[in-house]
Amino acid sequence: MGQSHSTKSGGETEDFAMYLTDQEAESLDKMLGTETEESLAGQLSKLQNHVSHTLPSEIVKGIILSLQVRCNNASKTSGQVLKQEICKMIFGYQNDRISFVYDVLSFDNSSVPILTFEKFIIGLIKLLLNHASSHIFGVDDVSCHQFFESAVSYRENIKKNDFLSLIQNSSVLAELISVGTRFLFLGTFKSVTSDMQGSVPCLLPNIELLPHHALASTNTLLDTSHVVYLNSKLPVDLQSKWRFLYSSRLQGESFSKLSTQIANKGPLLILVKDQGGHVFGGFVPTDLSYGSQFQGTPHSFLFTIAPSLNIFTTTGYNDHYVYFNIRQETMPNGFGMGGQHEYFGLWLSSEFGKGHSKAKPTCTTYKSPQLSSSEEFLIDTVEAWGLGEEPQEENMDSDEDGMTSVIDKNPEAVAILQIAGKERVSEGYRESERTTTMPETTELHQPRDPMDY
């Protein structure tokens, strides 16, 4: 929905109300009073009461005045004209919707005040709290302000042509206005059928949580505006679903637990909060596996969330996108992105709690500045999300009955043993040795307790 529809032959305006579901049509008729043949003035009054609690009063006033003008200019006037104008905003041409928003916000028709535009965008983000995914994250005004500043480069009033161009060239603003307009008038969100998922942009992903981990706005590093921002930067085929994988606040401060949760789980978002209050991370677009070589693709990026929202994409200077290794005596052990060994754009040591972000003046791989509050930092929280559907495990060893071998059923225990330098004894009982994603290793001179992170 929200894409352009054709006009009927002979200049007759299309019946956009036909795109309403039965439930939406009934709800809109009841809200406007069209079934009781309420006058246009009466319908507008009912509509104003309906939306008055959702957006600032000056914006609500602009909505009502703009709809009144459109209704008065309609080629045919009837008790259904307001309903048709509302449906046109939701289901019609994108340019019609953008022009409507411009008229709502400009008041005197000369320009859109930048502060009014920000209030409108923040209001739309807060409407998203009604989405099933958003109750996990919550929203706050500081994050919304950061979102607006990252999405809108203007700091002064915006003329009409500039406003139209801005929205047309910003997929996240266009989708936010489309989704927000629909919810404002209909109280519903666009539904994306399963066969369309991964092929159309998605403002908010569906969220899949781990059993027994009560993720909420109090223990995640993200809020709704962050999710909208980061999701808009992902490839379309990864936007429809996020899978919660790990949080040190919920699952404990352990690199073995983190590595178990992110290895071979498909594309990822890794987020870090340091003890100086900076929040930052990286996007890994490919399956993450242990190894001494850099991996990933040019679609990788680094980002910051606090104190500001920014994305840092690859430069093409080198292919040091992602590094992930453990238990190597002569190689760095941990997770890194960009730069080079001992000088990563983002680095999390396998000795959980330590990291660095080095960039003088910028990271060679991502052209990112120092992400953290200090070059060497202490970790407050690490969080990880899988993107899209989880990859299906292949080539798993099975016993004679086709059951997976017991040593594969607890990958966290395996990771702990690997880090500690302990041999997996049951490997010797397999009929054929399996190729593992864990790197070849040499014995550490002074093995430590693997849980001592």
370 and 232 within one domain: yes
pLDDT at residue number 359? 94
Q: Do 147 and 259 fall into the same domain?
A: no
pLDDT for residue 437: 44
On the question of pLDDT at 6 being above 70, the answer is no
Residue 176 shares a structural domain with residue 259: no
Our count of domains for the chain comes to 2
Q: What is the CA radius of gyration of the chain?
A: 26
Same domain for 150 and 230: no
Domain-embedded: residue 420: no
The first and second tokens of residue 76, run together, are 């045919």
Instruction: Write the CATH number for 150.
Output: 1.10.238
222-235 average pLDDT score: 96
Residue 315 located in a structural domain: yes
CB 204 within 8 A of CB 225: no
Do 27 and 118 belong together in one domain?
yes
Best mean pLDDT range from 130-134, 167-171, 215-219 = 167-171
The reply to whether 415 falls in a domain is: no
Give the pLDDT of residue 194.
Answer: 63
Residue 168 has pLDDT above 90, yes or no: yes
Indicate whether 398 pLDDT > 60: no
C-beta atoms surrounding 74 within 10 Å? 16
Q: Examine residue 299 and state whether it is found in any structural domain, yes or no.
A: yes
Mean pLDDT of 373-391: 96
Same domain for 171 and 235? no
Residue where a domain stops, chosen among 133, 153, 186: 186
Q: Are residues 229 and 114 in the same domain?
A: no
Q: Which of 370, 387, 404 is the C-terminal boundary of a domain?
A: 387
pLDDT of residue 90: 93
Chain-centroid distance of CA 368 in Å reads: 20
Domain holding 246, by residue range, is 211-387
What are the two backbone dihedrals, phi and then psi, of residue 381, each rounded to the nearest 5 degrees?
Answer: -150, 145
Q: Are residues 25 and 165 in the same domain?
A: yes
Structural domain includes residue 441? no
How far is residue 282's CA from residue 384's CA, in Å, rounded to a whole number? Answer: 10
pLDDT-derived band of residue 415, with 50, 70 and 90 as boundaries?
low
Residues 156 and 260 in one domain: no
Q: Biggest alpha carbon distance in the chain?
A: 86
Residue 235: what pLDDT? 96
Q: What pLDDT does residue 211 have?
A: 82
336 Cβ partners below 8 Å, 6+ apart? 322, 323, 324, 344, 345, 346, 347, 348
Q: How many CB atoms lie within 10 A of CB 438?
A: 20
Q: Which of 338, 355, 387 is the last residue of a domain?
A: 387
pLDDT at 397 exceeding the cut of 50: no
* Same structural domain, 246 and 336: yes
Same domain membership, residue 148 and residue 23: yes
Share of the chain above pLDDT 90, in %: 68
Task: Calculate the dihedral angle through the C-alpha atoms of 449, 406, 391, 291, rounding to the nearest 10 degrees.
Answer: 40
Q: Please check whether residue 439 is in contact with residue 326, taking contact to mean a CB–CB distance below 8 angstroms.
A: yes
Asked if residue 412 belongs to a domain, the reply is no
- DSSP annotation string for 293-336: EEE--TT-EEEEEES--EEEE--SS----EEEE-S-SSS--EEE
439 is a domain residue: no
Q: Which pLDDT score is estimated for 135?
A: 78
pLDDT in tens, 290-320: 999 999 999 999 999 999 999 999 999 999 9
Residue 55 resides in a domain: yes
pLDDT of residue 131: 84
Assess whether 324 and 230 both reside in one domain.
Answer: yes
Element at 57 (helix H, strand E): helix 57-72
Q: Quick check: helix, strand or coil at residue 381?
A: strand
Residue 413 has pLDDT above 80, yes or no: no
